[in-house]
Amino acid sequence: MTGRQLFEQYQTHSGIWDEMCQDSNIRGQYSKVFDDISELPVELLLQKDKQAGELFMNQGITFTVYSDEAGIEKIFPFDIIPRILTSAEWDHIQQGIKQRLRALNLFLKDIYSEQQILKDNIIPASLIASCPHYTREVFGIRVPHDLYVHISGIDLIRGQDGTFYILEDNLRTPSGVSYMLENREVTKRIFPGMLTSSRARMINNYPLLLHDILGSLSPQQISNPTVALLTPGVYNSAYFEHTFLARQMGIPMVEGRDLLVDDHKVYMKTTAGLQQVHVIYRRLDDDFLDPLVFRPDSALGVPGLMSAYRKGNIAIVNAVGNGVADDKAVYAYVPEMIKYYLNEEIILPNVPTYGMENLDARQHVFDNIHKMVIKRTNQSGGYGMVMGDKASEIEIEEIKAAIIDTPREFIAQPIIKLSTVPCFIDGKLQPRHVDLRPYALCGPNGINIVPGGLTRVALREGSLVVNSSQGGGSKDTWVVDL
Amino acid sequence: MLSRIADSLFWLNRYMERSDFELRVIRTNYILSFDMSMSDDFSWKDVITLFSHTHDEAVLEHGHTISSSLAYLVSNTKNLNSIKVLFTRARENARGVQDNITKEVWEQVNQLYHIVNDPQLEQKITGSRALEIIDLLDQNSTLFYGVTDSTMPRGQGWNFMNLGKFIERCILTIDTTYAHFKKIEHKLTKAQDILFWRGLLLSLSGYELYLKTYTRGQHNNNVVDHIIFNKDFPRSLIYSLVRIKRYLEKVAEDTKLEESVILQRNLGRICSRVEFADLEMIQRESLPHFLYSLRKDLVEFSNQFTRIYFSYA
């Protein structure tokens, strides 16, 4: 059997946008990949699939699952068939994300200083006051170039008619970019030549762009600032990514215990004594950064870090307190923010979102609960999510009771059937739902988004949850110039 | 360089050196144990004692059969110096310093880790494929040395790695030699034929060099000379000590810490005890005493070194 027969047997779901097929035709962006794979025997595809897994394993791109006393190393599943976007689709996405980030940066500056948007009643002050991620400790702190969100991973999904929606803003410490880069490296190894024949755009300059931005944020005018990546350590599930980025940028990777603060300056402990650090790219949540200000039991942070931050002696990337802008309830107000700060109409729409504090909205959601997904505003990673069409009656009753109890902690959105992409599973091509997370970098010279991003795929049949903690995998993502 | 990184690189290499040596000892003994003539003075219990530093009978029980010895030495996680534990620890250290070692070095350590964490390891090592597995591990360990040598930059990290490697090597050579001479109660005058020394020399990868270098004379004295004074032999004490001295100088030069001088002085004293000694002096002092006090001083030096350069916790 060859790839051609696999494609012939490929069955899309009716009423759902498929990224490769339109009715029974192959979309233009997939034609080259279609031609190439059609020629290959299935045995070879199976072999390539296996080879891809081994490449991840050997490089230690794994996470550990603990069972009994021994940890088992697993890889994040990778699907060998790429997800392909056209340059026109990409331009649209890019504009939308840039617009959104400009507004979110202005919002963060505003909310931690003048709070004009609250005074003008665009966003209810109670919504911010009740947001657990609003960080009073950073009120009034000026950050270099007024940039708060340097690195973002905004999640997009695609609805039935092919419209892209913004699903979630990740403005704190979004992860996954190393998978985007490694997925591409693996594709180069298993399908050499296919990238060039499809004219896929290059992505591997991401670490260099990031490094430039980090260097430019140094609070002091020095020619060669010390930039360090702060990691929670080897037990963090994204540890591979931290080492990957530190290595690619050539910056030291430090843990909290490697740093100390003296006279409001941050130093790292080296074999030659103390050395001052000017910029910290932290992969640690706000809560753990400084035990003197946030969680006192944090052993991962650096006592005194916030005092150095307040004095302007250290730049922290992303800024502290960004959680207020990617809160799921604040998300609903981003279209208003864009209007308010930029006087523009939103380019990439939000998924309609119902705040549960509004009684009319709540009633509407309860009446249509089987078409809704309920999310907790303070959780991510797909945890605490209830899909109205799949949940049992008991679960529904429970979530309703919880909503009535603490409405601020929930939002509801209509279930959107995510678009599908063919995946090579059990020797067959099967449609699976995907989302898209492009990684945007904001620096003093503007916003850069490497073409593509990470496509996460729900590998379980029928599942709409793409998170890696819930059985998700990923795909290489191409932007092709047709 | 961060103190924590230097610490991890140092220990990465100590664990790798220890496991490399242990594998060679296992391989040598495994093959020699099939020779009938060896059976008198050979016992797996000695090998287990060498790497576990214990006389606990319950532990030494493992030495009764080849397969239980191999299982204990290679795959038993209760044995803190089993190959599995050593590679796992080496990898933990490498993982914490991934951005300070090359991708190639990391992949090689990671590869070893996956080999020893194969759920079937114990079954394989105790079965008829034992030698195949030992060879596989040995080859991959050797690859680690090759890849490190051909890809690691010669900066501070390299110096700390080598300090770890040669301090460990020196201690291992002392321990093995001590243990082997103990079998003849450290009596250099008690003549032994080359078969008695073959196990020791093969474990130290110094058998062929020995045969080429020492064509006459009594083996006992020659072996002592070879292991302590032969500068061409990469596992001799003098060879390791000269390397330690060289890498310490480089570290001192890079870091410019005041305490480095004290360290260099202490190491100088240790080195001179070997450099300016001869066989006669050692005989007068008695070999076990010489080895024991050298080891003690070296361990003390290593602790002092750790305090000065790695104090970050």
Same domain, yes or no, for B172 and B304?
A: yes
Same domain, yes or no, for B166 and B292?
A: yes
pLDDT mean over A428-448: 95
Does the pLDDT of residue A30 top 90, yes or no? yes
Same domain, yes or no, for B112 and B225?
A: no
User: Rounded to a whole number, what is the distance in Å from the CA of A203 to chain B's nearest CA?
Assistant: 20
Structure confidence at residue B40 (pLDDT): 58
Residue A255 touches partner B, C-beta closer than 8 Å? yes
pLDDT mean over B269-286: 92
Classify residue A209 by burial, with Cβ atoms within 10 Å: 0-12, 13-18, 19+: middle
pLDDT mean over B303-313: 83
Q: Which CATH number among 1.10.3720.10, 3.30.1490.270, 3.40.50.300, 1.10.10.1400 corresponds to the domain A354-414? A: 3.30.1490.270
- For A279-293, give one letter per residue: b (16+ CB within 10 A) or e: bbbbbbbbbbbbbeb
Same domain, yes or no, for B134 and B178?
A: no
- A228: enclosing H helix or E strand: strand A227-230
Same domain, yes or no, for B34 and B84?
A: yes
Among the candidates B152, B175, B194, a domain finishes at B152
Same domain, yes or no, for B188 and B110?
A: no
Which sign, positive or negative, has the C-alpha torsion A176, A228, A286, A351?
Answer: negative
Which has the closest alpha carbon to B298: B168, B178, B180?
B168
Structure confidence at residue B189 (pLDDT): 78
- For A239-272, give one letter per residue: b (16+ CB within 10 A) or e: bbbbbbbbbbbebbbbbbbbbbbeeebbbbbbbe
In whole angstroms, what is the distance from residue A371 CA to residue A167 CA? 17
- C-beta separation of A123 from A130 below 8 A: no
Nearest to B98 among A243, A258, A271 (CB): A243
Which residue in chain A has the smallest CA separation from B91? Answer: A60
In whole angstroms, what is the distance from residue B48 CA to residue B62 CA? 8
- For the stretch A112-136, pLDDT in tens is 999 999 999 999 999 999 898 999 9
Give the three-state DSSP class for A163: coil
Contacts of B96 in chain A (CB under 8 A): 233-234
Residue A233 touches partner B, C-beta closer than 8 Å? yes
Does the pLDDT of residue A345 top 70, yes or no? yes
Q: How confident is the model at residue A70 (pLDDT cuts 50, 70, 90)?
A: low
Structure confidence at residue A234 (pLDDT): 86
Residue B312 touches partner A, C-beta closer than 8 Å? yes
Does the pLDDT of residue B192 top 80, yes or no? no
Same domain, yes or no, for B75 and B200?
A: no
Same domain, yes or no, for B95 and B218?
A: no
Residue A412, CA distances (Å) to A358, A361, A364, A404 in order? 11, 9, 10, 13
- For the stretch B47-56, pLDDT in tens is 899 998 777 8
- C-beta separation of B134 from B23 below 8 A: yes
pLDDT mean over A389-417: 90
Q: How many domains are there within chain B?
A: 2
Chain B interface mutation, best of A271, A275, A280, highest count of B Cβ atoms under 10 Å: A271
Which residue in chain A has the smallest CA separation from B99? Answer: A247
Which residue in chain B has the smallest CA separation from A56? Answer: B107
- A302: enclosing H helix or E strand: none
- For A2-20, give one letter per residue: b (16+ CB within 10 A) or e: bbeebbeebebeeeebbbb
Neighbouring C-beta atoms of residue B226, cutoff 10 Å: 24
Does the pLDDT of residue B300 top 60, yes or no? yes
Residue A276 touches partner B, C-beta closer than 8 Å? no
* Sheet strands side by side (includes A354-355): A354-355, A410-414, A372-376, A386-387
- For the stretch A44-62, pLDDT in tens is 999 999 999 888 888 777 7
Same domain, yes or no, for B170 and B146?
A: no
Which sign, positive or negative, has the C-alpha torsion B96, B98, B104, B105?
Answer: negative
Structure confidence at residue B184 (pLDDT): 83
ipTM summary value? 0.71
DSSP 8-state code for residue A454: B
Does the pLDDT of residue A306 top 80, yes or no? yes
Does the pLDDT of residue A463 top 90, yes or no? no
Cβ contact B107–A59 (<8 Å): yes
Q: Where are the domains of chain A?
A: 3-88+184-192+422-480, 354-414
- For the stretch A201-242, pLDDT in tens is 999 899 999 999 999 999 888 888 999 999 998 888 888 899
Residues 366-425 of A with CB under 8 A from B: none
Neighbouring C-beta atoms of residue B107, cutoff 10 Å: 16
> What range defines the domain where residue B119 resides?
1-152
Same domain, yes or no, for B109 and B220?
A: no
Q: What is the pTM of this model?
A: 0.83
Contacts of B98 in chain A (CB under 8 A): 60, 243, 246-247, 253
Nearest to B96 among A57, A58, A234 (CB): A234
- Residue carrying structure tokens 């951005």: B99
Same domain, yes or no, for B164 and B295?
A: yes
Among the candidates B107, B126, B152, a domain finishes at B152
Give the three-state DSSP class for A459: coil
Contacts of B256 in chain A (CB under 8 A): 272
Same domain, yes or no, for B171 and B127?
A: no
- The vertex-B178 CA angle with B173 and B181, nearest 5°, equals 125
Please provide the DSSP assignment of A354-409 as one string.
EETTSHHHHHHHHHTGGGEEEEETT--TTTT-EETTTS-HHHHHHHHHHHHH-GGG
Q: How confident is the model at residue A429 (pLDDT cuts 50, 70, 90)?
A: very high
Residues 83-142 of B with CB under 8 A from A: 92, 95-96, 98-99, 103, 106-107, 110-111, 114, 117
Give B33's contacts (C-beta < 8 A, 6+ positions apart).
B39, B42, B44, B66
**Alpha carbon of residue A404 to chain centroid:** 30
Residue B297 touches partner A, C-beta closer than 8 Å? no
* Sheet strands side by side (includes A446-449): A151-153, A439-443, A446-449
Residues 237-266 of B with CB under 8 A from A: 251, 254-257
Structure confidence at residue B116 (pLDDT): 95
Does the pLDDT of residue A1 top 90, yes or no? no
Structure confidence at residue B175 (pLDDT): 94
Chain A interface mutation, best of B88, B100, B312, highest count of A Cβ atoms under 10 Å: B312
Among the candidates B93, B117, B152, a domain finishes at B152
- For the stretch A255-301, pLDDT in tens is 999 999 999 999 999 988 889 999 999 999 999 999 999 999 988 99
* Long-range contacts of B49-57, Cβ-Cβ distance < 8 Å, separation of 24 or more: B49/B179, B50/B25, B50/B175, B50/B176, B50/B179, B51/B22, B51/B25, B51/B79, B51/B81, B52/B79, B52/B80, B52/B81
Residue A246 touches partner B, C-beta closer than 8 Å? yes
Does the pLDDT of residue A390 top 60, yes or no? yes
Which has the closest alpha carbon to A352: A280, A308, A416?
A416
Cβ contact B255–A271 (<8 Å): yes
Strand A279-282 and strand A315-317: the pairing is parallel
Which has the closest alpha carbon to B50: B38, B39, B28, B36?
B28
Neighbouring C-beta atoms of residue B200, cutoff 10 Å: 22
Which has the closest alpha carbon to A444: A244, A150, A59, A75?
A150
Tokens, residue A439? 């990684």
Q: How confident is the model at residue B186 (pLDDT cuts 50, 70, 90)?
A: confident
User: Rounded to a whole number, what is the distance in Å from the CA of B93 to chain A's nearest CA?
Assistant: 10
Which residue in chain B has the smallest CA separation from A244? Answer: B99
- For the stretch A135-173, pLDDT in tens is 999 999 999 999 999 999 999 999 999 999 999 999 999
Give the three-state DSSP class for B204: coil
Instruction: Output A2 or B276, whichever has higher pLDDT.
Output: B276
Does the pLDDT of residue B138 top 60, yes or no? yes
**To 10 degrees, what angle do helices A42-58 and B103-116 make?**
100
Residue A270 touches partner B, C-beta closer than 8 Å? yes
